[in-house]
Amino acid sequence: MPEAIFHFPPDFLWGVATAAHQVEGYNQNNQWWEWEQRPGTIKRNHRSEAACDWWRNAEQDFNLAASLGLKSLRLSVEWSRIEPEPGQFDATALARYREMLSALRARNIIPMVTLHHFTDPLWFTQRGGWLAPDAIAHFTRFVEEVVTRLGDLVTLWCTINEPNVYAYMGYVAGIFPPGEHDLVKATAVLRTLLRAHAAAYRTLHRLQPEAQVGLAHNLRFFDPAHPGRLQDKLITRLLDSAYNESVLTPLASGFWRLPTGWGPAWGLRNTLDWIGINYYTRSEIAFDWHARETLFGREMPGPQAEPLDGGYGQLYPKGMARAVARIARRFRKPIYITENGIPDADDDQRPRALILHLHQLWRIMQENFPVRGYYHWTLVDNFEWAEGWTLRFGLVEMDPFTGERAMRPSANLYASIVRANAITPELIDAYTPELRSTLLP
Domain residues of the chain, as ranges? 10-410
pLDDT single digits (tens) 251-277: 999 999 988 888 999 999 999 999 999
Strands 6-7 and 422-423: antiparallel
**Rounded mean pLDDT of 101-121?**
99
* Best CA proximity match to 362, nearest among 341, 337, 339: 337
Identify the pLDDT of residue 236. 96
pLDDT at 1: 45
pLDDT at position 376 = 99
**With 60 as the cut, is the pLDDT of residue 64 above it?**
yes
CATH architecture of 10-410: Alpha-Beta Barrel (3.20)
Mean pLDDT of 163-188: 97
Q: How far is CA 47 from CA 34, 41, 136, 388, in A?
A: 10, 10, 30, 6
Give the DSSP per-residue string, 286-328.
EE-TT-GGGTTEEE---TT--BPGGG--B--THHHHHHHHHHH
Distance CA 129, CA 109 (A): 34
pLDDT at 435: 97
> What pLDDT, on a 0 to 100 scale, did the predictor assign at position 293?
72
Q: Taking the C-alpha atoms of 202, 204, 210 and 214 in order, what is their torsion angle to the nearest 10 degrees?
A: -80
pLDDT digit string, tens, across residues 380-402: 999 999 999 999 999 999 999 99
d(CA 268, CA 207): 19
Cβ contacts of 42 within 8 Å, gap of 6 or more: 35, 36, 385, 386, 387, 388
Give pLDDT tens digits for 184-204.
999 999 999 999 999 999 999
Mean pLDDT, the chain, integer? 97
* 312-324: pLDDT as tens digits: 999 999 999 999 9
pLDDT at 2: 59
| Percentage of residues of the chain with pLDDT beyond 90 | 96
pLDDT at 134 over 80: yes
Assess whether the previous peptide bond of 378 is cis (omega < 30° from 0). yes
Task: Read off the DSSP letter of residue 378.
Answer: -
